Chains A and B, each alone.
Chain A
Amino acid sequence: MRWIVCVLVVGMATRPAAAGPRGKDIVIEVPGERTLNNKLAIGGVAGAGLLVGALGLYFNLDARSAADELSSQLFTGKAWTADKEALDDRAHRSSVRAGIAYGIGGALIAGAIAALVITEPKSERSVIRTGPAPAITPVQGGALLGGAWSF
């Protein structure tokens, strides 16, 4: 007899919970994560771009140094010798190299930025479904508190 009463109590306790009002669902935005390979590839391209750009800067400074040595708006009293011709050639050669290095370096950095945008991982929306709202059911000698959630 006591056992049956217990069953009834449980039965009475669970019924209101199953039929109770549902709670609000919880929606979470889970940001996508880049893979290690993606990070390495983009970082590598950007790094190479910076390196080539730095090389361009080196050639730029070299060209400017040579150009400054030759540039003059006044009579220098000096002849245009083979040494100066070589210096002039160096200025032009380094200028061209600087231009090429800047171009390649810039393209690599632009490519890295484009890849960063294009390969941006999509974020996922995750919903946490809540069960019935907590229900308190008085029972003999106390009360039952119940609730359920699903993910």
Chain B
Amino acid sequence: MRALVLGALAACSPHIASGAYLCGPEQSCPEGQLCNGPDNVCVGESVAQVFDCTEDFPDPFNDDTPATGTTFNGLQCVSGVTQAFGCLTIDDNGDWYQFDTPAGCTTVGVDVIVTFPIAFEPIALQLSTDGGPPEVADTACRNPPNEELGDDARCFATALAPGHHYAIGVVHSGSADCSHRCANNRYTLKLQLVTP
């Protein structure tokens, strides 16, 4: 009878190989697996590594304030999409990206989307105008990525004044950070100047 019961139980348990799933929110993984930091894939406990910024998603140096952020040069009134890959570590307050709106535009706006794995702390966006204090800027995206595919995104779209200096900050959201154990993330930032 015990063999029958054990056999039935064994047959009904999922068999999930190491590396089969991407990590879920707050590094969640199938039982017996852990979230691998460098690629946010669920792997066997013995091979899991801690979070790390990778070559594809580097942590820019000395970009923690609006004034010292990475500069996006040469943006036109209607620009192409400027893309940046970055990494926000637990001890990094934020990564900033500066740009100027062309003075000759009648009207100008900006569309920003930051995409990041759901495995780690969600990313938030801030906006600084002419070196002023940063303000929370992000909202939910109209067409967010499918959570099932392991990514989430935050968006920001607003009209800007032509001929001014702006900075977009990629910062910690302070939520869903595994009690500060996964307060880090890799991200892809896309910025485009548009006619609002």
Contacts and interface: CB of A to CB of B under 8 A. Distances in A.
Interface string A21-40: 00000000000000000000
Interface in B119-133: 119
Contact of A81 (B5, B9, B25): B25
Contacts of A80: 21-24, 28-30, 42
Given A78-B150, A79-B150, A102-B4, A91 B20 contact: no
Contact of B25 (A74, A82, A96): A82
Contacts of B29: 80
Mostly, the B contact residues are: loop
B20 A74 contact: yes
A107 B6 CA distance: 16
Contacts, number: 106
B9 A85 contact: no
B24 A102 contact: no
A70 interface: yes
Contacts of B23: 79-80
A101 B30 CA distance: 26
Given A91-B12, A106-B1, A81 B24 contact: yes
B135 interface: no
Residue of A78, A80, A83, A106 ringed by the most chain B CB atoms within 10 A: A80
B12 A67 contact: yes
B47 to A, nearest CB: 15
B28 A75 contact: no
A111 to B, nearest CB: 12
A88 to B, nearest CB: 6
Nearest to A99: B5
A49 B119 CA distance: 47
A88 B31 CA distance: 9
B9 A96 contact: yes
B31 A95 contact: no
B178 interface: no
Contact of B14 (A56, A67, A77, A102): A67
A129 interface: no
Nearest to B6: A99
Contact of B118 (A79, A85, A94, A98): A79
A67 B24 contact: no
B147 interface: yes
Nearest to B147: A81
Contacts of A99: 5-6, 8-9
A78 B4 contact: no
27 contacts: A56-B8, A60-B11, A66-B14, A67-B15, A70-B16, A71-B15, A72-B20, A73-B17, A75-B20, A77-B149, A78-B150, A79-B22, A79-B148, A80-B24, A80-B28, A80-B42, A82-B25, A84-B21, A84-B30, A85-B24, A88-B14, A91-B12, A95-B12, A95-B13, A99-B8, A102-B5, A103-B1
Given A73-B20, A81-B148, 8 more contacts: A60-B12, A63-B13, A66-B14, A67-B11, A67-B12, A70-B30, A75-B20, A99-B8
Interface of A: 56, 60, 63-64, 66-68, 70-85, 88, 91-92, 94-96, 98-99, 102-103, 106-107
